[in-house]
Structure 1
């Protein structure tokens, strides 16, 4: 599967989610690729803090990256894409390259409003890839709070499911990323690590029924 984390608002935890999802998949013995498609290159900067990484990290922060991303992904069990906070052209390519688009949202207005552009890209992508999946993920949630009625209504109106897993706003995530570590290297038994465990388990359910696209259809989608 090619799984992307994408929202046009920065600061919703896309890089944290991408790095640690890739790390959890790699810990299971999968061959994993992380593509940094964000011009800010935060995932690539994280990788530069290390001598080696538990998965391969590649940079493709440019429009029309879908064809290259899909070609690279063919050599891996799973590919994770860290999407851009800005840039419609790159976001469109990220969607086209993906089998599953995960849209991180915070339980508040700004990230929901910014998600509108991502939903538009997903809807455009579905015109080319009918089996393209998209889900909302509550991210950076404050402890002991519940997701607001506004977010649930927004998801219902968009016709996009909200994952049951919710990622709490935990200090350990920031500490690990700053240190150039995954959450499993930094605090393997922490609640933050458990959050990612639950997330990956839920995401993999979307891969139980393989999204099959013919080579020509995939090329047409990548060039669109």
Structure 2
């Protein structure tokens, strides 16, 4: 399964979600590859921040080029799950990452403004589905503020969204930044934390979302 994590809007935690999802799958026994398709190279920098004596959970490779569409499927054969940390803007690179994916995950903060900002990305996905009907897409609530009105009513903000919203939501927590500085994921730095629980739940939600629907007998 190839999961493309994409959103043209900045500040939604795209890289944080990508690397932590990859870690959640890796600690669950999957063979995982994280692909940094963002020219900024944030996932690669995160990987290089890891202490030399700490074994990585998964490899991280840079592939910020439009040829990712052609090259990644062959590379993905050696892994159960591939997570693409996609480019933040609508470019040929973004289009190529979408076409290389089986599932597109769009991280958004619980705000109508975030939904409106995804319009260009949604349009790209719709276009890609014309050529790749099996492509699925969903929103993932990220950086939710716990115990607030907008946090409680978050689903209502997405009632008219173009794609479904996954049930599992990820809250804004300091441990994400603290772990990233060390080149770690939250499931490594704080395995019993609420952050780790939320990320694992989201990872499982993506698996379930990607399962083929059973046809009626």
**TM-score, scaled to structure 1:** 0.87
1:2 maps onto 2:2 in alignment: yes
Name structure 1 gaps, 5 residues minimum.
211-224
CA contact (8 A) 1:64 1:89 kept: no
Picking from 181, 184, 205, the partner of 2:184 is: 181
1:20 maps onto 2:20 in alignment: yes
- How many Å separate the matches in 2 of 1:174 and 1:147? 26
Picking from 206, 210, 222, the partner of 2:209 is: 206
Please, what is the CA RMSD of the aligned residues?
1.6
- How many Å separate the matches in 2 of 1:108 and 1:116? 14
Count of matched residue pairs = 207
- How many Å separate the matches in 2 of 1:27 and 1:148? 29
Q: CA deviation at 1:149?
A: 6.8
- How many Å separate the matches in 2 of 1:151 and 1:91? 26
Q: Deviations over 1:116-166 (max 9, x none)?
A: 1110111011011101100011111111122447732341xx2x1000011
* Equivalences for residues 1-80 of structure 1 within 5 A: 1-50=1-50, 51=52, 52-80=55-83
CA contact (8 A) 1:9 1:86 kept: yes
**TM-score, scaled to structure 2:** 0.90
CA contact (8 A) 2:190 2:196 kept: yes
Name structure 2 gaps, 5 residues minimum.
none
Q: CA deviation at 1:96?
A: 0.2
